[in-house]
A and B are shown apart, each in its own frame.
Chain A
Amino acid sequence: MIDKSVIEISRFITKVENQDVEALEVLEKRLKEKDTKTRVIGITGPPGAGKSTLTNCLIRKLSKDSKVAVVAIDPASLFSDGALLGDRVRMQEHSTNPNVFIRSLSNRNCLGGLSAATPDIIRVFMAYDYDYVIVETVGVGQDEIDIVKFSDTVMLVLHPASGDDMQAMKAGVMEIADVFVVNKCDIKNEAEKTFNVIEYWVRMNPRDWNPPIVKTSAIEGEGVDILIEKLQLHHDFIIENPDINFRRNQLRAKHEITQKMQLLIEKKISQINPKEYDIMLEKVIKNQTRPLEAANHLLKGVLL
C-alpha cells in the first residue's frame, strides 16, 4: 500500500499548481504554524548537462536517511500548451522508494526557468515536513534565474565544452551559482577547460561566499560525495551568516507578492462577462476601438 499522505500531497499539489486560491490559503495557514527545516536545493543548467542524472545521484544518497522531494520542470509547447515531461526517466530507480516523492511540472509557458506555481509547490513539501526539496529547472540559457529566489542553495550544472569565457562573462546564470558542477568529467580534457573557465570567473567575481567547483560524472556516480559535502558547506555558511541571504529573501518576497497580486487580478479578469468581451473584441478587430481603450473599459467592470 502506498502511504495515504502521498495521495493527499499529490492531489493538493494539483490544486496548488492550478493556483486554486482556497488551496493556497490552506497552505499559507498550515505553514504559519510551522517552523520548517526543509532545505531547498535548486539545480539549473543548460539542456543535456545532466541535471536529471545528477538529481538521481543526489536522491540516492540523501534518501537513505531523509525524506526527499523532487520537483522537475520541463518546458511547455508554445503552440499547444502541452508538455512532454521526461525527467522521471532518469530517476526511475526511486519510484517505489517511500522516502522519495517526484513530481514533474510543465513550466506552463512561464519564463524564468520555473512555473508560476513552483514556489507554492515547494512550500507544499515544506508543509509535509520533507527534509529536502530538489528543484530541477527547465534547461536554461543565460537568463532563467528565478530559481535563485526560491532555493537555499543553487547548483549550476555545466558540461564540458559548454562555451568559452565570453559565455561565462555575460551569462546572468553564472552569478546565481552557490556551487558549480562540471558534469561529464569523464570527457577529461574538455572538462578541464570548462573547469578553468569557471575558476577564472569565480576569481574575477569575488563574493562573501566563493562558490566551489565540483567535477562529477553523474552517470558513473563519481564526485557525488564531494558535491554533497560542498552543498553542506554552503548550508552551514548561510546558517552562520543569516544576513547573506537578505537580498535573496527580499527578491523572493517581492516575486511572491507580485505573483499573488497577478493571480488575484487574473481571477478578476476571468469574471469579465464573455459577451461584453466579445463586443470589445469585435470592435478592436474592426478598428472601432483601440486595445487599450477596450482593456480599460472591460477592467472597469470588474475591478471597481
Chain B
Amino acid sequence: MAGKIRVLIAKPGLDGHDRGAKVVAQALKDAGMEVIYTGLRQTPEQIVNAAIQEDVSFIGMSILSGAHNTLFPKVMKLLKENDCDNIKVFGGGVIPADDIPFLKENGVMEVFGPGTPLTEVVKFVKENA
C-alpha cells in the first residue's frame, strides 16, 4: 500500500488571518494529500513538534504579520537541531519579494505570494515529494 503525502499547514506568530492557509489546505486535500492543520498563533517550537509527531514531508507556513524573517529561520533551525531537515518547508502570505532571497538562504524551499494559483502550490508539493 502506497503512502500518502502528508503536509502540515501552520500559522506561525501573531496574525489571526487563516483564510489563505485554509484555502491552500483544501487544495492539497483535493489533490489527494493528507493535510494537518494546527490552528492559529503557533510558536516555531509547536510547529516543529507537531511536524515531527505527524511525520510530515512538508511544512507550509502562512504569515501575514511581517515576522517571517524571524519565524521562518527559527523553524529551519529547530528542524536542523532535531535532525529533521529532511522535512521541506514552503511559505506564503504577505512576504515582500526583497525578503525572499534571505528566506531561501535559510532553507525555505519556496515562497508563494498573493495571487499564486493553487495548482502551482500543488505542483510544487507533488514534484518535491
Identify the A interface with B (CB < 8 A): 1-2, 6-7, 10-11, 13-14, 17-19, 76-77, 79-86, 88-90, 92, 95-96, 101-104, 106, 108, 266
Contact = CB atoms under 8 A, between A and B. Distances in A.
A208 to B, nearest CB: 38
Contacts of B39: 88-90, 92
A181 B51 CA distance: 32
Interface in B36-60: 36-39, 42-43, 45-46, 48-50, 52-55
Describe B's contact surface by its main secondary structure. Answer: mixed
Contacts of B52: 2, 6-7, 10
B30 to A, nearest CB: 5
Contact of A18 (B1, B31, B42): B1
B83 to A, nearest CB: 7
18 contacts: A1-B81, A14-B3, A17-B3, A80-B31, A80-B32, A82-B4, A82-B28, A82-B29, A82-B33, A85-B35, A85-B36, A88-B50, A89-B39, A96-B43, A96-B46, A96-B49, A103-B54, A266-B1
Given A89-B39, A92-B39, A92-B42, A82 B32 contact: yes
A106 B38 CA distance: 15
B48 to A, nearest CB: 7
B26 A14 contact: no
* Among A95, A101, A108, A266, residue most surrounded by chain B Cβ atoms (within 10 Å): A95
